């Protein structure tokens, strides 16, 4: 299980690197466009692709560090045992099935893109769109790993508390 946890942690590090590269790319693209009236469709698409990677790889990582979006109005006042129940039920009934569905649908989505060797419809756009699309099932496989970890941890907290 520790290997899987490290894999989720690495996804956050890759997302952070993508963010740094994305910022540099946006600055370069803006400078080229406004100072030299020169732009590139491929660079603009790369910006969107890096943004996709950043978001997708951050999903499981933010869950690992309990930094995901949640309505904390009530949750923050719950006891550890009640939080464990909420996390257990939410993970088991909502996050896990949704993640498995996205993986199931995402694999066909990526396979179709790969079989067609899908590329950008724009002239000068990026080829091999299946590469970026492959991050969809990968991200949710990482989310399943993290969700199973939350389920086990919540169960332990409930039993001990």
pLDDT in tens, 68-93: 777 678 888 889 999 999 999 999 99
Q: How far apart are the C-alpha atoms of 131 and 50, rounded to whole Å?
A: 12
Average pLDDT in the chain: 91
Encoded tokens for 91: 């993970």
The whole-angstrom separation of Cα 121 and Cα 136 is 21
Q: What are the φ/ψ torsions at residue 78 (nearest 5 degrees)?
A: -75, 155
In angstroms, the first-to-last Cα distance of the chain is: 23
CA atoms within 13 A on the CB side of 152: 7
Query: Can you give the pTM of this predicted structure?
Result: 0.88
Query: pLDDT confidence of 3, banded at 50, 70, 90?
Result: confident
Give the relative orientation of helices 135-160 and 2-36 as an angle to the nearest 10 degrees.
Answer: 140
Q: Where along the chain do its domains lie?
A: 2-160
Q: Are 144 and 99 in contact (CB under 8 A)?
A: yes
């Amino acid at each position: 299980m520790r290997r899987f946890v490290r894999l989720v942690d690495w996804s956050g590090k890759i997302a952070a690197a993508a963010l740094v590269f994305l910022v540099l790319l946006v600055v370069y693209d803006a400078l080229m466009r406004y100072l030299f009236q020169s732009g590139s469709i491929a660079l603009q698409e790369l910006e969107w692709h890096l943004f996709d990677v950043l978001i997708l790889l951050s999903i499981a990582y933010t869950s690992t560090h309990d930094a995901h979006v949640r309505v904390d109005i009530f949750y923050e006042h719950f006891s550890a045992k009640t939080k464990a129940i909420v996390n257990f039920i939410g993970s088991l009934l909502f996050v896990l099935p949704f993640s498995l569905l996205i993986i199931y649908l995402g694999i066909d989505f990526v396979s179709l893109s790969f079989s067609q060797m899908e590329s950008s419809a724009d002239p000068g756009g990026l080829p091999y769109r299946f590469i970026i699309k492959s991050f969809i099932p990968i991200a949710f496989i990482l989310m399943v790993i993290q969700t199973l970890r939350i389920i086990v941890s919540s169960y332990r907290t409930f039993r001990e508390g």
